[in-house]
Structure 1
Amino acid sequence: MVQLSKLTLDEKIGQLFICGFHSQTPDEQIKTLIEQYHLGGVIYFRRNVGSASQLADLSHNLQVLSKPLSEIPLFIAIDQEGGMVSRIDHDGVSRIPGNMSLGAAGDLKLTEAAAALGGEELFKLGINLNFAPVVDVNNNPVNPVIGVRSFGEDPKLVAAHGAAAIKGYQNQGVSATAKHFPGHGDTAVDTHLGLAVVPHDKERLEQVELLPFRKAIEVGVDMIMTAHVIFPAFESEEIPATLSYGVLTKLLREELGYEGLIVTDCLEMHAISKSVGIPEGAVKALEAGADLILVSHTMKDQVAAIKAVRAAVNSGRLTEERIDASLERILSLKEKRIGQISDKAPEITVPLTPAEESERILRQIAEKSITLVTDAGNNLPLRTDARTLVIWAEVRHFTEVDEPAHFRYTLGEALAPYFQVDEILIGSHPKSSEISAAIERSAEYSQIVVVTYTSEGRLPEGQKLLIEDLNQRTGGKLIVVSVRNPYDINEIPDVTTYLCAYENRPVTVDAIAKVLVGQIQAEGKLPVTLSSRFPAEVASI
């Protein structure tokens, strides 16, 4: 391991930062951060990914760029959670399911297998750090940012699946990250946009929010990511956990005994950037006990944060001993997980995992995850001799957490091998003209399936109005399938046949089709309570 005494203060400070950039090759932003500011790590987003081979080359070229300047390799990080948060979503890379699908499937071996599959592929791409799994307990139906990223609402289930995922990643040589400490599941505010508060007392937090993190620590998770959420039970000041000494040092380090790395969530999120600001946030996070500072997007903010930490050391606000304590943990993990960087460019074969092996695992999870909440209307299985219409609500304005358009595979396509169906595509926030056209068209059909997609906390009003009208017109014979937020039925309580799928990946859509036609049974256990009518069914673990 590199000796701390051989590093300058600027080199030490640079190692505390993980930053993003905006191209598929090393651009001036990332070159400057590595060459002039001694950057310790990079983070990829979809903007950095063109193909598997391109990404492997990028990872290699960044390490080669850094190598002459420092003996310390780079962390190369990504948010490859699976499901809706998958920065790499390209042909040749296995499309790992999201956490709530895994929670519904209820099989720890499959959760570990999925993480191992993803970890093996990340390792081949030169990515050594995954900001996953999410171990937040999702017990707030209107949570706008966690939702299906969680394994469910039962702390023991979340803890068990989180531990399985951590083992899967780290056994493949990729550091896992349990997030968002001490728990982001019971919030109704997206911390990308503002501050959230979890007001519960210590006893409740110990029983629910902290349980999965204790388990993650027990199985040796390499990193824990902070939440930009206020926890009055642990911190008297109205500051988010990321900036709280009471949360990061007293609770996580001292009470829970965590010895690994603490990384902040991105400081450009409004909960930090619009309150204390990014430079001050970086200093306060280190004072609180964080080891790594994440600034994902804007170069001026990245540089300002690095300079603020340097100024804090110069003024005596931060000691060099405090910097060294974090650096020792960083260097130890890099030596353990990364080791020596080869000068030889990587040679990869696409697909990264043989298709037969990958498909077997992914289809098994998908088919075990489909959850039949109710069929009180006795509408299943579909009648193959009936005129059938599928109405598919699709995302048309894509973000980092929505499925890209070029991977769209609809239920109509999945049902085509079984019998003839017609299909209408509408927006997830349909216009009144789309709603009217769908209602008018539906009069021709005796069997209708509506596929809902909700990326916010509640079913969009247009989808709700369409379903209410169709349900009334069909006399309750409508079938609704949610392909993201399982809570959609709370907005359409009169629907008598409702299935949850938690995501809209092709293997999942195929599994939905199989359940609808009766080829397989819906085996999924509801991992969250939808209402008093539909409580969670926690799978035995």
Structure 2
Amino acid sequence: MKKTKVKIFFHTPIILLLCLIVTTCGKKRMFEKADALISTLSMEQKIGQMLMVALPGKAMNSDMEKILEKFLPGGVIYFGYNLTDDKGIAALTGEIQIKSMQNSGIPVFVSVDQEGGRVVRITSGVTQFPGNMAAGVGGDRDLVFQWARILGMEMRALGINMNLAPVLDVNNNPENPVINTRSFGSDPELVAGMGRAYIKGLQESRCIAVGKHFPGHGDTNKDSHLTLPVIHYGMDRLKRIELPPFAEAIDAGLECVMTAHIAFPEIVGNTDSATISPFFLTDVLRRDMKFEGVVMTDDMEMNAISGKYDLGEAAVKSVQAGSDIILISSYGVNTEKIFSALMEAVRKGAIDEKRINDSVRRIIELKLRYNIMDFKENRVVSGHVEYSEKEKKLEGKAGEVNEMLSRNALYYYGRDDLLKPGQETVRVFVSGSDVLRRSLKKDNNDFIVENISGLQGILRKIGKSSKPVIVYYHIYKPDFAELAMVKDMTGGKYMECVLVSSGDPFPVTRTGMFKSYLLSFSNTDISLELLAECLNGAVTPLKNNSVYLGMPGVK
């Protein structure tokens, strides 16, 4: 680990906080240092390291300070309500690290869900990439590597050292309400290859990747935020479809795995979530798949867990099963409930101290190796990364990489002449997106309207024209009552409709409601601009797609 500069930030009688700027993230394990630090920690500090909590507000405040002081968390998770612009995010992160050092004596993991596409938290200071399924449709692993490499550098510049990504679920169920476009696709080999590229890129930027949701959330038709999904198939199927992306990720050096709140009764004989299953977390993940990294739960306050268990009890069960970090998305009473339950479980012997030490050892070692901290001469040193000129040059290509990923994701299913009609054709574009409408080029026979009312007005104006009419109806989230009206309105002899989707297309494509679809799998500004360019005839979309969209009669 090469050192280039040491700067003192502040000093207390107990801790000297230093900022160590480093240029490389060594792969050598640092368990000796981790063990030396762990030997100095109280049980409260150890349990705190196993908590990842949310904090209230956009800047340091008394409520944040109380949480950091009382529970000594080893990690924090950012949500949209924490985040402002890049300067504000960096300032908040710095304040949190200082307060953490003053209280627990150890810097925190700072994590966020920045998957790309429809799941992002940071909207300023990082590039808005189109997300997994857009990348999976394009199929370019090198672009995925570059995307993650760039994003990791952008996030570390804000002080964020852990991204709760990539999603490694195989989305082979078009009725999946929660994964869908968050997945790279419906083919295990594709998901595995894309996941490997993403993990390599992100972690080479010294930003920790978290592969989720183990052992697989792709083949559900329920949302675990709302209820406990139950999967009725056996281990053979799991090994064939769901587990290969995780196996590939582990081989690629994945540092952290997030669990799924899903039950597999055919495999384990009960309806307990995988998050509290020793079979999945210890037997399968640790023993069979040889994973040596950190295991983190998904949010324990999701209804799949909180609707069935007391949260303190669930946290204890999860640690007993093999989890290292308990994730809590709120900053209320549940943090105290979980902290107290874990402390009590250790006191009563339900969890022995060695089990706690094993988790804390993995956590501290990971922080050491990713330059989040160092420990030498009995002092805790807070780390930071600095990038080479070559790395900065790649970061400067963020816009180019983003455009290529977004362009490669455009997919069209339908008759070619509907995208490139003759000059006599009347085209009506309907979109609620200002970005898409502004990017469209309007010819003499074209109309651009904002909503279905505008479409009704244009169709009345056109009347019973003998000219062919094509309606391009753009949606992000489908309103089926509205779409039924659109289908009815465009069912005339000389009329056609192309459904244009920049969101999750599965709810519509699997119904077979329309015959033609233009899809971007992403609602970022660049994706919307490229959709418009496709409708303008300047960009040619893909006609072949590896992602199963559930369209009747189409494999």
TM-score normalised to structure 1 length: 0.87
Correspondence for 1:10: 44
Q: Residue 388 of structure 1: CA displacement?
A: 3.5
Unaligned runs of at least 5 residues, structure 2? 1-32, 375-380, 387-391, 463-468
Q: What is the aligned counterpart of 2:353 among 317, 320, 334?
A: 320
Which amino acid counterpart does residue 54 of structure 1 have in structure 2?
G
Distance 2:41 2:341 in 1: 19
Correspondence for 1:527: 547
Is the counterpart of residue 453 in structure 1 residue 476 in structure 2? yes
Which amino acid counterpart does residue 96 of structure 2 have in structure 1?
L
Correspondence for 1:432: none
Alignment of 1:381-396 (within 5 A): 381=420, 387-392=426-431
Matched-pair contact (CA < 8 Å) for 1:382–1:518: no
Identify which range, 135-144 or 378-387, moves more after superposition: 378-387
Q: What is the aligned counterpart of 1:93 among 126, 147, 156?
A: 126
Q: Deviations over 1:198-248 (max 9, x none)?
A: 211111110100010000100010100000000124422210000111111
Matched-pair contact (CA < 8 Å) for 1:370–1:500: yes
- Give aligned-pair identity as a percent: 32
Matched-pair contact (CA < 8 Å) for 2:425–2:445: no
Is the counterpart of residue 506 in structure 1 residue 539 in structure 2? no
Q: Residue 141 of structure 1: CA displacement?
A: 0.9
Matched-pair contact (CA < 8 Å) for 2:78–2:111: yes
Matched-pair contact (CA < 8 Å) for 1:452–1:463: no
**Root mean square deviation, CA, Å:** 2.4
Identify which range, 149-158 or 270-279, moves more after superposition: 270-279
Matched-pair contact (CA < 8 Å) for 1:17–1:294: yes
Q: What is the aligned counterpart of 1:410 among 428, 432, 435?
A: 435
Alignment of 1:32-71 (within 5 A): 32-71=66-105
Matched-pair contact (CA < 8 Å) for 2:113–2:163: yes
Correspondence for 2:333: 300
Q: What is the aligned counterpart of 1:439 among 456, 474, 489?
A: 456
Q: What is the aligned counterpart of 1:27 among 45, 58, 61?
A: 61
Q: Deviations over 1:150-194 (max 9, x none)?
A: 011000000000111101110000000110000000001111101
Q: Residue 29 of structure 1: CA displacement?
A: 3.2
Correspondence for 2:315: 282
Alignment of 1:4-403 (within 5 A): 4-90=38-124, 92-337=125-370, 338-340=372-374, 357-375=397-415, 378-381=417-420, 387-392=426-431
Identify which range, 469-478 or 136-145, moves more after superposition: 469-478
Cα distance, 1:66–1:382 mapped onto 2, change above 3 Å: farther
Distance 1:122 1:33 in 2: 24
Unaligned runs of at least 5 residues, structure 1? 347-351, 395-407, 427-434, 536-541
Matched-pair contact (CA < 8 Å) for 1:382–1:516: no
Identify which range, 63-72 or 272-281, moves more after superposition: 63-72
Correspondence for 2:11: none
Structure number, greater radius of gyration: 2
Which amino acid counterpart does residue 444 of structure 1 have in structure 2?
K
Q: Residue 493 of structure 1: CA displacement?
A: 2.9
Correspondence for 2:15: none
Identify which range, 231-240 or 50-59, moves more after superposition: 231-240
Cα distance, 1:373–1:173 mapped onto 2, change above 3 Å: same
Cα distance, 1:364–1:227 mapped onto 2, change above 3 Å: same
Matched-pair contact (CA < 8 Å) for 2:50–2:325: yes
Identify which range, 120-129 or 197-206, moves more after superposition: 197-206
Distance 2:220 2:513 in 1: 28
TM-score normalised to structure 2 length: 0.85
Partner SS, residue 265 of structure 2: coil
Matched-pair contact (CA < 8 Å) for 1:20–1:42: yes
Correspondence for 2:450: 425
Which amino acid counterpart does residue 424 of structure 1 have in structure 2?
V
Distance 2:423 2:331 in 1: 54
Distance 1:363 1:44 in 2: 27
Partner SS, residue 312 of structure 2: helix
Distance 2:170 2:535 in 1: 30
Cα distance, 1:100–1:319 mapped onto 2, change above 3 Å: same
